[in-house]
Amino acid sequence: MDERLAQLTLNMLKQLNLRVPQDIRLASLYDNENLVNTVPPISAVQFNADILGLKATQQLLCALQGQPVETRMELGYQVSLRESTQT
């Protein structure tokens, strides 16, 4: 849903005559092929949503069972810088 919100935000900024990235920069916290095809292409974070969901579910189950829950977990990610954040 985050990538859809980024696209809606881009459309709203255009309606307000705000230029991306000249007037405001825009990025998404979830990458999607559609973000590459916007004008301008939107910067985004790439990560494996399946692994994130699995880890979150494991933590929830541990918490419900009264077991210790990891408070910090590092998962792989990559930031794709595109035109929406470049000046």
- The 10s digit of each residue's pLDDT in 3-28 is 899 999 999 999 999 999 999 999 99
Selection from 15, 49, 19 nearest residue 32 by Cα: 49
Q: What is d(CA 85, CA 45) in angstroms, rounded to the nearest whole number?
A: 13
- For the question of whether the overall pTM of this predicted structure is more than 0.85, the answer is no
The mean pLDDT value of the chain amounts to 93
Q: Domain ranges for the chain, please list them.
A: 2-85
Q: Identify the three-state secondary structure at position 30.
A: coil
β-strand partners of 28: 44
Three-state SS at 28: strand
Confirm if 27 and 10 have CB atoms less than 8 A apart: no
**Statement: residue 74 has pLDDT above 90:** no
